[in-house]
Amino acid sequence: MTKKILLIYTGGTIGMTATANGYAPQKEAFHQLLHSMPGLNADVMPEWDIIDMDPLLDSANMTAHEWNKIGGMIADHYEAYDGFVVLHGTDTMAYTASALSFMLENCRKPVVLTGAQIPLCEVRSDARDNLLTAMLIAGEGVVKEVCLYFGGSLLRGNRATKFSSDGLIAFISPNYPLLAEAGISIKYNTSALLKPQRGPFRLRRMDDVPIGVLKIFPGIQFELFEAIMTEKLRGIVIETFGAGNIPGSGTALLPIIRRAYANGTVLTVCSQCPQGAVALGAYETSTALKNAGAVSGYDITTEAAVTKLYYLFSCGFDTDSVKHLMESNLRGEMTRRDASEEK
């Protein structure tokens, strides 16, 4: 039976067309282009419908509000379609993919995010392959999780990070194998796929949780950042050097950590290195973080850490549970045993 895919167009370069004021998302022109694309309407392709986010956005403007809109569109049509392809700007695609991976609880259908570096209307556009292959992957239904297809590779959504602002291979998955590679044929890496989730599908909406990200650099004057450590801040991701190291054996950061602790702010440690994991306590320079109650993000991306904090606080967990779950694997976002396998 022919599969049915819902295309959700949110904006971004893929659907932009030339206007008097430069490239801008143009719903009608983009729909026309799609309907006249021979490949997309070929017999071998799944059937498709398209709906648009309103307004269409450059993905730099995405917030939890838009994640809820996109998640809502998937949830509203979950039963009617075999899979979903979300057309999205590349700038924050890895954040949206991560957010959706948490929000779509027990999702057992393919949700493939894709976009392009060059608009579909252009001769050298990378949109054609990205879109057509994403549609085929969604139609084949081998991968039943939130993923991101770009430049020949299928990545787990919450493992992806944008690494090139102008290359046609714009995303990498530094700490997890590719889910599939699209060469002459699409080869799935079946052992890397998420085990099908049990339980009823449901959408968990995200709240506007106040989250921070602090990148450590040589000579950082921590006192300048103390002001952001207010009671309002629910969680902060600290991007440390290497395996979790901060300057000054952590002593300069201590006032900040203590304040975070007193306020119940969850402090998650990630690495600035795209590849590898945080190992708190391995060096003296990270022990202070560990002793002060910071949690390790292990090999999680900053994108997944930020959206996981949003998600866990939106679920209403208390601080201790959020800390515990930040160190547990929920959707394949970190190389750790699953939360469900813990005693």
Catalytic residues: 13
- In the complex with ligand ASP, the residue whose CB is nearer, 167 or 255, is 167
Identify the CA nearest to 235 among candidates 207, 264, 204, 271.
264
What is the C-alpha separation between 215 and 270, in angstroms, rounded? 10
Q: C-beta of 11: minimal distance to ligand ASP in Å?
A: 6
Q: Does 12 bind ligand ASP (CB under 6 A)?
A: yes
Task: Indicate which single residue of 31, 37, 50, 58 sits in contact with ligand ASP (rule: CB under 6 A).
Answer: 58
- In the complex with ligand ASP, the residue whose CB is nearer, 59 or 302, is 59
Please give the DSSP secondary-structure letter assigned to residue 276.
S
Q: Which residue has the tokens 């983009």?
A: 30
Identify the CA nearest to 143 among candidates 200, 83, 98.
83
Residues from 109 through 128 that contact ligand ASP (CB under 6 A): 115, 117
Task: Indicate which single residue of 91, 126, 299, 303 sits in contact with ligand ASP (rule: CB under 6 A).
Answer: 91
CA distances from 337 to 152, 270, 343 (A): 29, 18, 11
Task: Indicate which single residue of 46, 83, 89, 157 sits in contact with ligand ASP (rule: CB under 6 A).
Answer: 89
- In the complex with ligand ASP, the residue whose CB is nearer, 94 or 246, is 94
Residue 303 is encoded by which pair of tokens? 């994108």
Q: Are 137 and 186 in contact (CB under 8 A)?
A: yes
Q: Does 90 bind ligand ASP (CB under 6 A)?
A: yes
Residue 198 sits at φ, ψ, to 5 deg, of -100, 160
- Helix extents (H) in the chain: 27-35, 64-76, 93-103, 127-140, 254-263, 284-291, 302-314, 319-326
Q: Does 235 bind ligand ASP (CB under 6 A)?
A: no
Q: Does 327 bind ligand ASP (CB under 6 A)?
A: no
Residue nearest to ligand ASP (CB): 89
DSSP H or E segment with residue 98 = helix 93-103
Task: Indicate which single residue of 7, 8, 9, 59 sits in contact with ligand ASP (rule: CB under 6 A).
Answer: 59
Q: C-beta of 91: minimal distance to ligand ASP in Å?
A: 3
| Region binding ligand ASP by CB under 6 A among candidate stretches 8-16, 135-143, 241-249, 270-278 | 8-16
Identify the CA nearest to 113 among candidates 66, 80, 176, 79.
66
Q: C-beta of 61: minimal distance to ligand ASP in Å?
A: 8
Half-sphere exposure of 102 (CA within 13 A, CB side): 32
What is the C-alpha separation between 51 and 260, in angstroms, rounded? 42
Q: C-beta of 89: minimal distance to ligand ASP in Å?
A: 2
Q: Are 4 and 10 in contact (CB under 8 A)?
A: no
| Region binding ligand ASP by CB under 6 A among candidate stretches 5-13, 131-139, 152-160, 296-304 | 5-13
Q: Does 332 bind ligand ASP (CB under 6 A)?
A: no
Residues near ligand ASP (CB under 6 A) = 11-13, 58-60, 89-91, 115, 117
